[in-house]
Amino acid sequence: MMNDWAGLPAIYGDVLRRAMDSLFRTFENFSEGTFIVDADARVVWINKRYAARFGFADPEQAIGRDCEAVIPNSLMREVVKTGKPILLDILETDREPLVVTRLPLKDDAGATVGAVGFALFDELKALTPLFSHYSRVQEELIATRQSLAQARRAKYTFGSFVGTSAASLEVKRQARRAAQLESPVLLLGETGTGKELLAHAIHGGSARANQPLVTVNVAAIPDTLLEVEFFGAAPGAYTGADRKGRVGKFELANGGTLFLDEIGDMPLPLQGKLLRVLQDKEFEPLGSNRIVRADVRIIAATSADLPALVAAGRFRADLFYRLNVLTIHAPPLRERTSDIEALAYAMLEDLSTQARGGSHYELQDDALRLLCSYAWPGNVRELRNTLERAVMLSDSERIDARALAPFIGSGQSGAQGATAQTPDGSSQTAASGADAAREPSSWSDAMAAFEKRFLSDALRANGGRVIETAAQIGMGRATLYKKIAAHGIQV
């Protein structure tokens, strides 16, 4: 039977030689340059065009020279030494980079006797689709790594914790001590008192500072996903969206710190698993049959009353004792009013750099008195939000009580009842001063009033049960708790 090969001599060696010959000629014709070196990486042959590109008018002048002396950055010596090809590479030259391929030349016994190099293209344009894809992926990878590293570094230091009251100094002293130790830390305190700030500062001040700080907000993750979030899962271990498997936060935090925020919201079965990991210092990702060592320092925080949760059987006593080693109580702002001035100025400074760089806000005495006379149920966070709103809507950089009053406790119920001095000297509650004095006059006031009414109605409809309400209105429990505190809603 006839085929295309019929005319060829049936001697394999000959076919091979022809193939090599035509391959070489094809490359030679279509490439931007070809050159051959001997076993000592000295040039034995170079085509005219290529020689000219590197400044040799006559190719003969290049013969016998070291390959690097003819083509700077040449890797032909490596190919000769290792006997291994470099199939695709980019050769930087003082003009455009070249796409090159380098192959070893072997004798019949398989010894490397030299190498041949082809410059395939002198314009990377031919490879543009490939390169742009590669560089896009590369850029994305770098950006993701940077933002991850950033996200996993401590955002705050001890210096970020503003306050010189006795209570604040004591908190900072305890937190600094905790940074030197390895035991778990438990941060307790009302919403907005700086627990997250302290967690970052403790990690940043510890020997683990250069390792990751990984946060899990227990309240923000549905119970069914928490175990995978913590311990990870092997590919195909469960039929969720993550078919590729998932690395758990424990593994991501290895060597560093795992910050378990809102730990009071952890479901009981997971509490048992967490306790076991803290004892054994190892765990198994879901469906993996793989034991992972966990060298992780735990910092836990909650605004819930943990001992009460233990008493009610909603938090395991053994886990509580395990976590309750270095316990730090972040005091509410109303118990350290002497910090308010320093806090307010630190925040105003921050706000001025953020917003209209160059602004220099000043608080008038009556504004300071107003700030100090309010109860701040939302603590430092509420103070910051109040100042932020006042600054945004204030026409002047000098903020007095009259400008501040509408924002203090806006949306708070009168029951919070901190007595405040109004600019005209009369005494009234800051909250009712905001609520009763006028209809909402701005979008943010209107939104706040609406939110408070909406949440109060939803809570009432659910008999005051926060978890049920959160599920019904599609809001995270932690967020709802914070809003209840910030609006002063009675549950």
Ligand X SMILES: Nc1ncnc2c1ncn2[C@@H]1O[C@H](COP(=O)(O)OP(=O)(O)OP(=O)(O)O)[C@@H](O)[C@H]1O
- Binding footprint of ligand X on the chain (CB under 6 A): 160-163, 189, 191-197, 303, 330, 343, 380-381, 384, 482
Reference 19, options 30, 8, 29; nearest CA is 8
Comparing CB distances to Mg ion, the nearer of 68 and 305 is 305
Shortest distance in whole angstroms from residue 261 CB to Mg ion: 5
Shortest distance in whole angstroms from residue 342 CB to ligand X: 8
Shortest distance in whole angstroms from residue 181 CB to ligand X: 21
- Give the whole-angstrom CA distance, residue 57 versus residue 111: 33
3-state secondary structure 134-164: HHHHHHHHHHHHHHHHHHCCCCCCHHHCCCC
**Interaction partner, residue 194 (Mg ion, ligand X, none; CB < 5-8 Å by kind):** ligand X
Closest-approach residue to ligand X (CB)? 194
**Interaction partner, residue 163 (Mg ion, ligand X, none; CB < 5-8 Å by kind):** ligand X
Comparing CB distances to ligand X, the nearer of 54 and 259 is 259
**Interaction partner, residue 161 (Mg ion, ligand X, none; CB < 5-8 Å by kind):** ligand X
- Give the whole-angstrom CA distance, residue 491 versus residue 218: 22
Reference 403, options 376, 375, 442, 377; nearest CA is 442
- Give the whole-angstrom CA distance, residue 159 versus residue 161: 5
* Residue 348 tokens, joined: 């105003």
- Give the whole-angstrom CA distance, residue 199 versus residue 177: 13
* Residue 140 tokens, joined: 């994305």
DSSP assignment of 33-83: EEEEEETTSBEEEE-HHHHHHTT-SSGGGGTTSBHHHHSTT--HHHHHHH-
- Burial code (b: 16+ CB inside 10 Å, e: under 16) for 11-23 equals eeeeeeeeeeeee
Q: Is 196 in the site for Mg ion (CB under 5 A)?
A: yes
Side-chain-side CA neighbours of 320 within 13 Å: the count stands at 19
Comparing CB distances to ligand X, the nearer of 228 and 344 is 344
Q: For strand 398-399 and strand 282-283, is the pairing parallel, antiparallel, or unpaired?
A: unpaired
Comparing CB distances to ligand X, the nearer of 294 and 343 is 343
* Residue 195 tokens, joined: 């627990």
For helices 166-180 and 195-204, angle between their N-to-C axes, nearest 10 degrees:
40
Shortest distance in whole angstroms from residue 340 CB to ligand X: 11
Shortest distance in whole angstroms from residue 481 CB to Mg ion: 10
Comparing CB distances to Mg ion, the nearer of 219 and 326 is 219
- Reduced to 3 states (helix: H, G, I; strand: E, B; else coil), residue 425 is coil
Shortest distance in whole angstroms from residue 192 CB to Mg ion: 8
Question: Which range of residues in 158-166, 194-202, 267-275, 422-430 is near Mg ion by CB under 5 A?
Answer: 194-202
Comparing CB distances to ligand X, the nearer of 249 and 483 is 483
Phi-psi region for residue 358, left (φ > 0), alpha (ψ -120 to 50) or beta? left
**Interaction partner, residue 482 (Mg ion, ligand X, none; CB < 5-8 Å by kind):** ligand X
Shortest distance in whole angstroms from residue 318 CB to ligand X: 24
Comparing CB distances to ligand X, the nearer of 181 and 346 is 346
Comparing CB distances to ligand X, the nearer of 70 and 188 is 188
**Residue 364 identity (one-letter amino acid):** Q
Comparing CB distances to Mg ion, the nearer of 229 and 251 is 229
Report CA torsion sign: 476, 482, 485, 486. negative
Shortest distance in whole angstroms from residue 292 CB to Mg ion: 27
**Interaction partner, residue 487 (Mg ion, ligand X, none; CB < 5-8 Å by kind):** none
Closest-approach residue to Mg ion (CB)? 196
**Interaction partner, residue 323 (ligand X, Mg ion, none; CB < 5-8 Å by kind):** none
Please name the residue that has the structure tokens 């072997």: 106
- Give the whole-angstrom CA distance, residue 286 versus residue 292: 11
Comparing CB distances to ligand X, the nearer of 283 and 376 is 376
* Residue 1 tokens, joined: 């039977």
Q: Is 190 in the site for Mg ion (CB under 5 A)?
A: no
Shortest distance in whole angstroms from residue 305 CB to ligand X: 13
Shortest distance in whole angstroms from residue 171 CB to Mg ion: 15
- Residues of this chain that bind Mg ion (CB under 5 A): 196
